[in-house]
Amino acid sequence: MRVISGSKKGKILKSVPGNQTRPTTDKVKEAIFNMIGPYFTTGTGLDLFAGSGGLGIEGLSRGLEKVIFVDRDMNAFQTIKTNISECGFEQQSELYRNDSERALKAIIKRDIKLDVIFLDPPYKKQKLVSLLQSISDGKLLTESGFVVCECSSDIQLPNVVGELVKTKEAVYGIIGISIYSMGN
């Protein structure tokens, strides 16, 4: 697993020990960033089920100013911390060991607006629709922001959740990607 493009292109990232996390493959990561960017001139991101931190770190490498990383697993937390440090992104990162719902509530309370949110929850504990609803209800996205959902390709996410509208979707083998933005 590596950083694909940007300021840290080619940097090798550590994986979370064990089999509790499923890192996003380089092929899928490249496809995601081609769908949403591929580069940024500014912005704040949230990597909600961060695992190794690969998606958020890729976003920082491609120009995001700041990324908030959240994972509740201690091994994942330590791996993200190491990867952020190895890439020199400590000043641009916030890292929290927390579950997704509590993390979203805390971000809503802080009145943070996000340009990109990466949602890649464990496939067996699928709760993307309720997370999308919380993001919509909390008005977490900037006007031009978007949510990237990664799930099993056999899951069909709704076209509209609250004020969020699915704008793109693609399938890469067993992985499905859906991109949501604010409907106008």
Q: pLDDT per residue over 75-87, tens digit each?
A: 999 999 999 999 9
The answer to whether the beta carbons of residues 150 and 120 sit under 8 Å apart is yes
pLDDT of residue 164: 97
pLDDT of residue 125: 58
CA R_g for the chain: 15
| Count, residues in the chain | 184
- Global confidence as pTM: 0.95
pLDDT of residue 27: 87
pLDDT of residue 18: 74
Least confident residue range of 3-12, 75-84, 100-109, 175-184: 175-184
As given in the structure block, the two tokens for residue 164 are 């969020």
Least confident residue range of 12-21, 25-34, 84-93: 12-21
Over the chain, what is the mean pLDDT?
Answer: 92
As given in the structure block, the two tokens for residue 114 are 């996000």
pLDDT band at residue 135, thresholds of 50, 70 and 90? very high
Q: By percentage, how much of the chain surpasses pLDDT 90?
A: 83
Q: What is the distance, to the nearest Å, from the Cα of residue 68 to the centroid of all Cα atoms in its chain?
A: 9
Computed from CA positions of residues 93, 95, 100, 104, in that sequence, does the dihedral angle turn out positive or negative? negative
Average pLDDT over every residue of 115-123:
89
> Which residues does residue 137 pair with via DSSP β-bridges, in sequence order?
none
pLDDT of residue 90: 97
Q: How far is residue 50's CA from residue 67's CA, in Å, rounded to a whole number?
A: 11
Q: What domains are there in the chain, each with its CATH number?
A: 26-182 (3.40.50.150)
Strand pairing report for 141-152 and 66-70: unpaired
Q: What is the distance, to the nearest Å, from the Cα of residue 44 to the centroid of all Cα atoms in its chain?
A: 11
What does 122-135 look like in DSSP terms, one character per residue? -GGG--HHHHHHHH
